[in-house]
Amino acid sequence: MWSQVKEKDNTSSSEGFILVGFSDCPHLELILFVVVLTFYLLTLLGNVTIILLSVLDSRLHTPMYFFLANLSSLDICFTTGSIPQMLYNLWGPDKTISYLGCATQLYFVLALGGVECVLLAVMAYDRYAAVCKPLHYTLITHPRLCGQLASVAWLSGFGNSLIMAPQTLMLPHCGYRQVDHFLCEMPALIGMACVDTTTLEALAFVLAIFIILAPLILILISYGYIAQAVLRIKSAAGRKKAFNTCSSHLTVVSLFYATIIYMYLQPANTYSQDQGKFLTLFYTIITPSVNPLIYTLRNKDVKEAMKKVLGKWGAEV
């Protein structure tokens, strides 16, 4: 029996998978293609702009914009690792993805999602230092520490994926190749396994505590101290400035965690594929595209840096 299962899985591995996606609603696919492509281009434009501004304008050579540039780089990598395949499958009848392509996509989706969880906690610590320890801010968030914190975020995400991605890919599927999703995501791949996945789900939950819940707790603790510090500020202008300093980050945290907790902190047998698909669309294409807008619309420094850079380029032309 095991040899038959193994033979079927080897066939599945050599032929790859079929990403069902929204093929049951073909009238939606062309609309989704246009929407996804538009948001992808906006993601690239917005995040590349933030990275360039943080490099070109010396006023943005601060810890906050260093971490923001890391977040923008992360969003570019995340979308580029998943959206081109999604566009290909939405454009035509071919819904296939090679086994290697699926494995690579799964690894980077898990890794970069984990990086973002930890990076958002690091950014919350930066905001805590800026609001609660303003006189010592430059001493606390020195360049070496910023580099170390960013490295911890990237290594944590990729380390988590190095554990979970192979475990997920080794699950036997008994010859089934259809993934009821438009990405090779862990919940969808676990859901199509033909064996008991309780142990793997327990491992995923334990790792999620460290990668998802622990950073969220640190974020909440940081903002608890920030709230106390803001309430002690007597002037309305001072409170407004402190609020503006943190509001963008809080908005990004809310958007990200609202979807990621639903996706990865529930048992696979309660996972709704249709809801999962639309939530994945949300954090795959919408969140990375609006992050630059959230951080720039109410940010005077970024607006001034953009005017300065555009003005310099206009003068050169």
Distances, alpha carbon 224 to alpha carbons 125, 128, 131, in Å:
11, 9, 12
List, for residues 69-125, the tens digit of each pLDDT value.
999 999 999 999 889 988 988 887 888 888 898 999 999 999 999 999 999 999 999
Q: Where are the alpha helices (DSSP H) in 235-272?
A: 236-264
Residue 1 has pLDDT above 90, yes or no: no
Q: How many domains does the chain have?
A: 1
What was the pLDDT predicted at 104? 92
pLDDT band at 297 (very low <50, low <70, confident <90, very high): low
**pLDDT tens across 143-159, in order?**
999 999 999 999 999 99
**Average pLDDT score over residue span 1-13:** 42
pLDDT of residue 298: 62
Domain with 196 in it:
2-316
Least Cα distance to 176 among 5, 3, 1, 2 occurs for 5
Domain with residue 84: its CATH number is: 1.20.1070.10
Residue 269 per-residue DSSP state: G
- In sequence order, the 6+-apart residues with CB closer than 8 A to the CB of 178 are 17, 18, 20, 192
pLDDT at 292: 84
Q: Two tokens at 285?
A: 């294409």
Task: Tell me the pLDDT tens digit for each residue of 253-267.
Answer: 888 887 777 766 655
**Is 70 exceeded by the pLDDT of residue 8?**
no
Q: What is this structure's pTM?
A: 0.86
CA–CA distance, 69 with 304 (Å, rounded to integer): 17
Residues 269-284 have a mean pLDDT of 68
Of 172 and 121, the one with more pLDDT: 121
User: For residues 243 and 223, is the Cβ–Cβ distance under 8 A?
Assistant: no
Model confidence pLDDT, tens digit, residues 184-220: 888 888 888 888 888 998 898 898 889 988 999 999 9
E strands of the chain, at which residues? 17-19, 96-97, 178-179
